[in-house]
Amino acid sequence: MNRRDFIQYSVAATGISTIVASCKPENKIKGSILGASFSVGHLLRDKQFSSPSSVEVKQVAIIGSGVSGLTAARQLRQQGIEGMVVLELEKRIGGNATNGENLISAYPLGAHYVPIPNNDLKEYLNFLKSANVITAFTKEGLPIYNESFLCFDPEERLYINGKWQEGLIPQYGVPVNDLQEIERFLQQMQEFRLAKGRDGKDAFSIPTNHSSEDPDFIKLDALTMKEWMVHKGFTSEYLHWYVNYCTRDDFGTPYHICSAWAGIHYFAGRKGKAANADYSDVLTWPEGNGFLIRELSKDLHDYIRTETLVTKVVKESDHVIVQYYDVKSKVLREIKAEQCILAIPQFVAVRLLKDNSRIETVKANFQYAPWMVANIVTDEVEERSGQPLSWDNVIYGSESLGYVDATHQLLQQHTVKKNLTYYLPLTKMNPVDERNQAQNKKHEEWVKQIISELKLVHPNIESAVKEINITLWGHAMVQPVPGMIHGNLRKELARSIGNSIHFAHTDISGISIFEEAFYQGLEAAKKVIQYVGQ
């Protein structure tokens, strides 16, 4: 530790910087709370709708324009199905993968990257090829990724023990024993990554449904990640922080609640090979997965209707009745569809289906973690020593997951202002209480919370920040608690109703990531093709 580090460390440790800073008058930071249309969504719960003012006939109705809904629609379109409609309650399509934009750059409001895909995911690879994310394949069949989309270096940094270190795995100032334990843990994860079950399948695969059913691995779904770690003799505080960070990052679930199978899957599911990238590399865009949404929806604009809240989906003898509230013209409309895909989360789906026992089951078993995402517009900020500003910036021991710099993936040399996207899964209390608290929080309170955390690493952040916009994801993702992935409930809920209502959403794959959503959509589309026009 050099002198400068020491001073910074001791200042940070004694909290002097916060005390000093808190004496200064506060700078009022503008912005608003955007929230996934709560008010519209709540209509579903609270409003009594009269009878529909128009009726249309369609081959297929897809509810939801998230990754799964759009993938289904794209697939159907490619199969020549024209009588299709996609209904989306928000103004923007994309669901959790949507994005915003300002004069500086585009930026994600939720999902912001995908890892290098596993090579057996043909349809997904083909999609990436059509989106020019894969530019070509080598003779050996390895994908060559577009270098403008592989996350630029420097990718990640962690502020720990008074300094920014490279990478997120704690290293700087970490005692040797802990380092050895972290090494042992990663070694074990590597073994899981390569492991195959007795059925010959990968122990941990993507989509999860492709994973081995070998009881040796499935039994990991019966305990929590923390229990598993303790059982295996992992005690390092640094390691525990890191694993908890990972499960909160990917699943919005602290590791003492998260299934060990899901926790290990985070480390062991990725096996992608590429000509110019490693399995641990990621693909990203200034707008995050909003880029993939744009590519998925390229030829679908004529079919998508935004600001349409589906209120009811019921099966009648040979068709499905879909009723939706047209937010713009404030009227209820009806579609008679041969086939319907519910590409929405289960907690909404059950309400549309008006199936009371299903409502109860979902309520009792599905826990949805709320998230707060803040888009921060800022001038250049003061930095602590160590690795410079990176794509992903995490503070050891903090409640948030840190922030991602949207301008990092721009080609130009230099951007004077930045768009930082700050992620905070709300996991201190149970999801219901967290959700209530989040919805009652004022903009200033969020701002204060964010600023006081970031001040540790950017002392002048308060004066550098120009604007902070808050997005609340009330039901961001289902928590993969023990029993969720390998229990029966998920499969039961995923089963189609009477060959005409199909489900596609990441919450029935148990793990909320792009590939899962993509294959959810694809599978639902396959079922539709099978039955449509019969």
Partner 1 sequence: MQTKENKAQWILLLAVFVIATCGLIYELVAGTLASYLLGDSVTQFSTIIGAYLFSMGIGSFLSKYLGGNLLQWFVRIELMVGFIGGFSSPLLFIVFPLANSFQIILYTLVGITGVLVGLEIPLLMRILEHKVEFKELVSRVFTFDYIGALLASLIFPLLLVPQLGLIRTSLFFGILNIGVGWYLLHYFSAELKRAALLKLTAVFLLLIELVAFVFSEKILKYSETMAFNDQIIYAVSSPYQRIVLTRNKRELRLFLNGNLQFSSADEYRYHEALVHPALSSVTKPSNVLVLGGGDGLAVREILKYQTVKNITLVDLDPEMTKLFKSQSVLLKLNKESLLNKKVKIINQDAFIWLRENQQKFDAIIIDFPDPSSFSVGKLYSTLFYQLVRTAIKTEGIIVIQSTSPYVAPKSFWCIDQTLKSVGFFTRPYHNYVPSFGEWGYIIATPAEKEISFHSLPSGLKFLDSATLEQLFIFPEDMRTKAELQLNKLNNQALVHYFEEEWSKYLE
Instruction: Give residues in contact with partner 1 (CB under 8 A).
Output: 147-148, 150-155, 276-277, 281, 388, 411-414, 416
Residue placing its CB nearer to partner 1 in the complex, 216 or 379: 379
Q: Which residues touch 67 (CB under 8 Å, ≥6 apart)?
A: 94, 95, 96, 97, 289, 292, 293, 296, 506, 514, 517, 518, 521
Q: How many residues does the chain have?
A: 534
* DSSP codes of every residue in 342-358: E-S-HHHHHHHHT-HHH
Whole-angstrom Cα distance, residue 77 to residue 71? 10
Which of 72, 111, 158, 528 is in the footprint of ligand FAD by CB under 6 A? Answer: 111
Residue placing its CB nearer to partner 1 in the complex, 101 or 445: 101
- Exposure class string for 486-512: b at 16+ Cβ within 10 A, else e: bbebbeebbebbeebbbbbbbbbbbbb
Residue 476 lies near ligand FAD (rule: CB under 6 A) = yes
Site map (CB under 6 A) of ligand FAD, residues 326-365, x = contact: -----------------xxx--x-----------------
Question: What single letter denotes the amino acid at residue 214?
Answer: D
Question: What single letter denotes the amino acid at residue 84?
Answer: M
Residue 482: contacted member of partner 1, ligand FAD, none (CB under 5 to 8 Å, by partner type): none
Residue 95 lies near ligand FAD (rule: CB under 6 A) = yes
Residue 517: contacted member of ligand FAD, partner 1, none (CB under 5 to 8 Å, by partner type): ligand FAD
Residue 522 lies near ligand FAD (rule: CB under 6 A) = no
State the nearest-atom distance from the C-beta of 383 to partner 1, in Å: 13
Contacting range for ligand FAD; rule: CB under 6 A; set: 12-20, 110-118, 259-267, 375-383: 110-118
**What order do you get walking across the sheet with 465-478 strand by strand?**
163-166, 156-160, 392-395, 403-405, 418-425, 368-378, 465-478
State the nearest-atom distance from the C-beta of 282 to partner 1, in Å: 9
Residue placing its CB nearer to partner 1 in the complex, 364 or 416: 416
- Please give the structure tokens belonging to residue 154: 């420097």
Contacting range for ligand FAD; rule: CB under 6 A; set: 109-117, 155-163, 328-336, 412-420: 109-117
Residue placing its CB nearer to partner 1 in the complex, 123 or 147: 147
Residue 477 lies near ligand FAD (rule: CB under 6 A) = yes
Evaluate whether 305 touches 86 at the Cβ level (below 8 Å).
yes
Q: Which residues touch 381 (CB under 8 Å, ≥6 apart)?
A: 418, 458, 460, 461, 464
Residue placing its CB nearer to ligand FAD in the complex, 332 or 517: 517
Which of 505, 510, 523, 524 is in the footprint of ligand FAD by CB under 6 A? Answer: 505
Residue 421 lies near ligand FAD (rule: CB under 6 A) = no
* DSSP codes of every residue in 115-148: EPPPTT-HHHHHHHHHTTSEEEE-TT--EEE-TT
Whole-angstrom Cα distance, residue 279 to residue 288? 19
Evaluate whether 334 touches 55 at the Cβ level (below 8 Å).
yes
Residues that bind ligand FAD (CB under 6 A): 44, 63-69, 87-90, 95-97, 110-114, 289, 309-310, 343-345, 348, 371, 373, 473, 476-477, 505-506, 512-514, 517
